[in-house]
Structure 1
Amino acid sequence: MSESALIQGVGAPLPISNLDTDQIMPKQFLRIINKAGLDKGLLYDLRFDENGQARADFVLNRPGYARTKVLVGGPNFGCGSSREHAVWGLQQYGIQVVIASSFGEIFYSNAMNNRLLLVILEEADVQRILADVSSPETNQVTVDVESMTVRSHSVQAAFTMSGRHRHMFLEGLDIIGATLAHKEEIQAFAAEHWLQRPWLQGVAQKTREKLGARLGSQPGNS
């Protein structure tokens, strides 16, 4: 079982309904050519004031939540735009699991495909876990993908997930790794496809070459 299949650590309460991806990762942190440094932008306007000073009352800035691995959120967590940076920022910060009663659909796909575990529970169970993690003395949470259970100080609850996603977490695979696991079948399918339809192979390259030759032969292009 991979490390991403059994997660134990500090849980932090973030009971904000409809927390959107612009709040999770504000737009000014999207101007990058790679994924580096997104942890600095995570929940920026909640973590910092207008002068860039840490807000002492925000949960992730409090000493008892310095190494948070699990966020317990409000319903419709991750709604809004499709920016994958929201997922990457959470992961870079150290968040491995988000628990809520519902998630934005695109955010859910982005997260699970990148191996950020999203756990959907009944709102009543989420509220009980929120109560537990609201105190540093009882904020430890365990999430077990193999048994599909969540345990906090006073709660043990079962969750469900698709067979594909469960397999990915148990094997430590993201969506690329899960795809490459079928590399031989993909190559066999491609070989059979080109054998049956050889006239389609390389069409785009041949078209580009023809267009290039035509443009090169026009007056003034020599």
Structure 2
Amino acid sequence: MDKFTTLTGIAAPLPLINVDTDMIIPKQFLKTIKRSGLGVNLFDEMRYNDDGSENENFVLNKDAYREAEILIGGDNFGCGSSREHAPWAIKDFGIRCVIAPSFADIFYNNCFKNGILPIALPQEQVDLLMTEAEKGANARITVDLEGQTITTSEGETMSFEVDAFKKHCLLNGLDDIGLTMENVSSIDRFESDAAQSRPWV
């Protein structure tokens, strides 16, 4: 998993509440178990017209936000079914950080396991960042995970909370497998001892 330390990038404003996982990645795209290739279908039903052409009014189709790495969303982001494809699609598009007033628990935890930093902030701070994001590519927001700060293009800084264990995993690029591999020497030693003490197993 990619490490997350400091990110400076364009933030895309998506001022919608209750953005559920079916909106993020519709059910017809859940046939794959690959984490790559889903970015093109991120927000598919809002992003494309019925004929497959781009909806020019959708934020990620606007030139200023095609390279967005941060998404500013509304309350209860990621609600709905517990599909891990949702953070897969977000990450594959290129977004590494989602900021919103609140998140659905399963989506929130899935983000950390897939190299995405979800940040919950008070509504007034999200509103400020939403306004900042509406400036387009001229406004770049910096997210510092180590220092737990967000800095706007105007130099205004705000702090955020993050679980210490989840922070450790993101800073070091550790998913569940990576965490297990940190203890590989202990696992090997246990297996060796078990084989000698219980050869019949």
What TM-score results when the alignment is normalised by the length of structure 2?
A: 0.89
Tell whether the 8 Å contact from 2:10 to 2:137 is kept in structure 1 after alignment: no
Structure 1 segment 154-193 matched on structure 2, within 5 A: 154=154, 155-188=156-189
Cα-to-partner distance string for 1:61-80 (whole Å, 9 max, x where unaligned): 11111210000000110011
User: What's the offset of the Cα at 1:108?
Assistant: 0.9
- Measure how far apart 1:31 and its partner are: 1.6
Q: Are positions 1:79 and 2:64 aligned together?
A: no
Separation in 1 of the partners of 2:123 and 2:187? 41
Unaligned runs of 5+ in 2: none
Aligned-partner residue type, residue 68 of structure 1: A
Q: Report matched runs for 1:9-158 at 5 Å.
A: 9-136=9-136, 138-154=138-154, 155-158=156-159
Question: Using CA pairs below 8 Å that are at least 6 residues apart, which structure has the higher relative contact order?
Answer: 2
Change in 2 beyond 3 A, CA 1:145/1:36: closer
SS of 2:99 mapped into structure 1: strand
Q: Please give the per-residue CA displacement for 1:101-135, whole angstroms capped at 9, x wherever unaligned.
A: 11110011111011111111111100100011011
Alpha-carbon separation, structure 2, partners of 1:161 and 1:67: 26
Provide the rounded CA distance (Å) in 2 between the counterparts of 1:7 and 1:152: 12
The letter for the 2-side match of 1:168 is: C
CA contact (8 A) 1:5 1:172 kept: no
Greater fraction of residues in helix:
1
Question: What displacement does 1:34 show?
Answer: 2.5
Work out which of the two has the higher radius of gyration on C-alpha atoms and give 1 or 2: 1
Matched AA of 1:182:
N
The 1-side partners of 2:138 and 2:121 are apart by: 19
Check the 8 A contact 1:119/1:159 in 2, yes or no.
yes
Aligned-residue RMSD, C-alpha: 2.2
Q: What is the SS of the residue equivalent to 2:131? A: helix
C-alpha distance in 1 between matches for 2:181 and 2:174 = 10
Partners in 2 of 1:176 and 1:42 — Cα distance? 26
Provide structure 1 residue ranges, at least 5 long, that are not aligned to the other structure: 203-222
Q: Distance in 1 between matches of 2:95 and 2:143?
A: 13
Are 2:42 and 2:93, in contact at CA under 8 Å, matched by a contact in 1?
A: yes
